[in-house]
Structure 1
Amino acid sequence: MGEMRIAIAGAGSVGRSIATELAGNGHDVLLIDRDTRAIGVDDLPQVEWLLADACELATLEDARLGDFDVVIAASSDDKVNLVVSLLAKTEFAVDQVIARINDPANEWLFDDSWGVDLAVSPPRLIADLVEGVSEEDHPEEGTLPPLPGAEIAESVLHAASPFADRPERDLTAELPEGVALVAVLGPGGVRPPAPERTLSVGNTVVFLAEPDALGPLEELLERVEDSEESASEG
């Protein structure tokens, strides 16, 4: 019932990791890239792929982009991500367009004038972490008004989180239905999900979630270790 059609432009490490995670959760995922080596068909058996230039209108017409619920522009080239976002929104009226910002200097471009519903800027998120800026300080960032399809949610792991200092698989095993972990941000930058890797206090975990799953996800992420938090909460 909760299956979504998701197109991802850019089959680098970020695009591939998002595709693997979402396809593993039962969504219908299409990866678009010009580079056959990037696609790696055998490595991603659950993912459809299209070997073509995502910036060309004909390519997106071939992909029937208008049938997709979400388009993620995840390439390492900001120009590509802007063009894909604009085409997805203006030519195909895709409900949810998410774009990756690679160069913080280009951040001002990534807004609704380019068809972007949500821009993810890893350098800014990491800077916020370093400066101790929390989600409450930027209530407009990381959350979107209700839209059909999916939304981005993010949370910073605190010391009392039951998932701090534990492998990512412990978190993903408890995620509500309709939620996928798509990235982890830390001092070393952005990295795709890795089940065996340990989550640390201060890491930002980023999810793609169906609107109905946001409440259960927030409850899970706000859960605290019983022992320490009762003393510090008060």
Structure 2
Amino acid sequence: MNVIVAGAGRLGTQIAQVLAAARNEVTLIDVDDDRVAELQGRIPVRLVAGDACEPALLEDAGALTADLVVATTGDDEDNLVISLLAKRQFSVSRVAARINDADNAWLFDERWGVDVAVPSATPLISLIEEATGATDTVALLRLSKAGVDVIETAITPQSSAAGRALGEVRLPEGTVVATIIREGRPTVPDPATRLRPGDELLLVSHTATEREIHAAFQ
């Protein structure tokens, strides 16, 4: 699946990483050059600096062949414009948009090209499930076409993995850590990284269950 995510804040970056880990082709756009430069080489997606409200930039980012566009900027007006362009100009089959201000929720419908409107408080699991149309959810997300599960676990002060290096944690076979979200920011996992309470981990596995992942870290 070809995916464009507009907005490289925490939510947009998490969505991009999860979908990329599930073997989708993902392009992440952000208007902030510094944010794009910060993410270069740290996440397995194509990064584009620029305003996703500009049709030319969306086209350069691959909108003509995109299966899904997710607008996750912090500005509702931008998210609506991106959605409308994706649907009307580029005929993207599925468009999801984040609602930042609940008072604007009534605008996020088919008139603006929005197939899936997601309030900002919606958990990541629900946003990705609704945006992709995936209904077979195991733990965080299952994308049946990719044949992998993306499972989320959090490190608490009571977790057995707290204070240990990631490389010291014995993972189930066929499982890798896709990203560690620390203090709201995704980081590239490294075997030497010491896990801290508050860390959120996204793991990709072909075989492991949520229970097995929980046992490894908790």
TM-score (norm 1): 0.56
Letter in 2 for 1:22: L
2:133 to 151, 169, 184: 151
- Structure 2 distance, partners of 1:16, 1:77, is 16
- Where 1:80 maps in the other structure, the secondary structure is helix
- Structure 1 distance, partners of 2:149, 2:185, is 15
After the TM superposition, which residues 6-155 of structure 1 pair with which residues of structure 2 at under 5 Å, given as runs? 6-39=3-36, 40-44=39-43, 46-123=44-121, 150-151=132-133
How many positions carry a matched residue from both structures? 158
How far 1:66 sits from its partner (Å)?
1.6
- Where 1:17 maps in the other structure, the secondary structure is helix
- Where 1:43 maps in the other structure, the secondary structure is coil
TM-score (norm 2): 0.60
8 Å CA contact retained: 2:13, 2:186? no
- Structure 2 distance, partners of 1:16, 1:51, is 14
Which runs of 5 or more residues in structure 2 are unaligned? 155-183, 188-194, 201-208, 211-218
How far 1:43 sits from its partner (Å)?
1.6
8 Å CA contact retained: 1:6, 1:68? yes
8 Å CA contact retained: 2:29, 2:49? yes
Shift of the 103–29 alpha-carbon distance from structure 1 to 2, 3 Å rule, reads same
Give the alignment's Cα RMSD to 1 decimal.
3.9
8 Å CA contact retained: 2:22, 2:150? yes
8 Å CA contact retained: 1:54, 1:60? yes
Which runs of 5 or more residues in structure 1 are unaligned? 127-141, 156-162, 164-170, 185-190, 200-219, 222-234
- Structure 2 distance, partners of 1:197, 1:17, is 16
Shift of the 174–15 alpha-carbon distance from structure 1 to 2, 3 Å rule, reads closer
Letter in 2 for 1:121: P
- Structure 2 distance, partners of 1:118, 1:61, is 21
8 Å CA contact retained: 1:101, 1:122? yes
- Where 2:41 maps in the other structure, the secondary structure is helix
- Structure 2 distance, partners of 1:21, 1:116, is 21
**CA distances 1:26-74 after superposition (whole Å, capped 9, x unpaired):** 1100001111222211221x10011111001111122230201000001
Shift of the 107–5 alpha-carbon distance from structure 1 to 2, 3 Å rule, reads same
Q: Once superposed, which parts of structure 1, at least 4 consecutive aligned residues long, lie more than 4 Å away? A: 152-155, 172-176, 178-182, 191-199
- Structure 2 distance, partners of 1:121, 1:172, is 18
- Structure 1 distance, partners of 2:105, 2:13, is 23
- Structure 2 distance, partners of 1:62, 1:76, is 22
Q: Identity across aligned pairs (percent)?
A: 38
- Structure 1 distance, partners of 2:141, 2:52, is 34
8 Å CA contact retained: 1:14, 1:192? no
- Structure 1 distance, partners of 2:8, 2:134, is 20
